[in-house]
């Protein structure tokens, strides 16, 4: 478990649900919860909050044991729009509260993310979300939130993998007490996981290449949220705490050609 700046605790690894639809999400999340996952990540734009909520409702697991994250879409940027969007997400999930609510992308062209953040602060004060954070925000975006509201996010969920280790942003997070979460934590999957360096490091620890990369994530202080619909891979992805990579191995896994897979937060638009 990882402690957040607001006192909440976050599981050290979670399950991503993009791009599952409602029916797929219900099946996959149900299996993941049975396998031991307690952090489930979704978003309004994924179109699967209803399925995620059904899986949680039917799991038989106490609600307080499951950490649920969802996100505000770009189409709902603005103060009142964000409040209404959150209620829509909460209704689809069928939950009394959300554990972590994030602004999905900053969309700087719209210049509304500070108003969105003010809405999230209100939601946190009303205890309908236990933690608030952002996703795909840069240092400059976060500094603006702090300077205009005095409130820092508990989490910044970013694209992070060995070809994009986000050193400068992670160092900034560390100085501010912000927890890094990583989406696309295995990069482009096959290419990275077939890399001879990664394969060799994994073999030395008698683990899979995916396990080695996910352990790289956690040892760097990030909370990875890999998506897998395969029950075997789900269990493998959870089983990453029985070994430790050396400093040299961490460095060698990081030694990839720099490559961003997703959008650039300074100009990416998601609605």
- What are the catalytic residues? 46
Residue 220: name the closest of 271, 266, 185 by CA: 185
Angle of CA points 46, 102, 86, to nearest 5°: 75
* Cα–Cα distance measured from residue 18 to residue 265, given in angstroms and rounded to the nearest whole number: 19
Nearest CA-CA partner of 218 in 180, 264, 257, 190: 180
Sign (positive/negative) of CA torsion 265, 177, 52, 193?
positive
Of 199, 213, 208, residue with least CA distance to 245: 213
Helix (H, G, I), strand (E, B) or coil at 153: coil
Pick from 187, 229, 231, 181: nearest CA to 210: 187
Q: Which residue has the tokens 């909520």?
A: 53
182 in Cβ contact with 161 (< 8 Å): yes
């Amino acid at each position: 478990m990882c402690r957040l700046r607001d006192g909440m605790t976050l599981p050290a690894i979670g399950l991503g649900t993009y791009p599952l639809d409602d029916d797929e999400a219900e099946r996959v999340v149900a299996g993941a919860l049975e396998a031991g996952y307690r952090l489930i990540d979704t978003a309004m734009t994924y179109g699967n909050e209803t399925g995620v909520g059904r899986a949680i409702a039917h799991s038989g697991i106490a609600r307080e044991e499951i950490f649920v994250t969802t996100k505000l879409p770009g189409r709902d940027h603005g103060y009142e729009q964000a409040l209404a969007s959150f209620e829509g997400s909460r209704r689809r999930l069928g939950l009394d509260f959300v554990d972590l609510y994030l602004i999905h992308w900053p969309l700087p062209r719209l210049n509304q993310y500070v108003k969105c953040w003010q809405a999230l602060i209100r939601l946190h004060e009303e205890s309908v979300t236990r933690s608030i954070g952002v996703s795909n925000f840069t240092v400059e975006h976060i500094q603006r939130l702090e300077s205009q509201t005095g409130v820092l996010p508990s989490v910044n969920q970013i694209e992070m993998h060995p070809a994009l280790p986000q050193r400068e942003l992670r160092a900034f997070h560390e100085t501010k007490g912000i927890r890094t979460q990583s989406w696309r934590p295995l990069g482009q999957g096959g290419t990275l996981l077939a890399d001879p360096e990664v394969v060799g490091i994994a073999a030395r620890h008698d683990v899979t290449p995916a396990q080695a990369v996910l352990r790289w994530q956690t040892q760097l202080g990030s909370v990875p949220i890999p998506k897998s619909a395969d029950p075997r891979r789900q269990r493998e992805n959870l089983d990453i705490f029985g070994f430790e990579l050396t400093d040299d191995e961490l460095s060698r896994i990081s030694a990839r050609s720099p490559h961003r897979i997703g959008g650039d937060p300074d100009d990416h638009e998601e609605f």
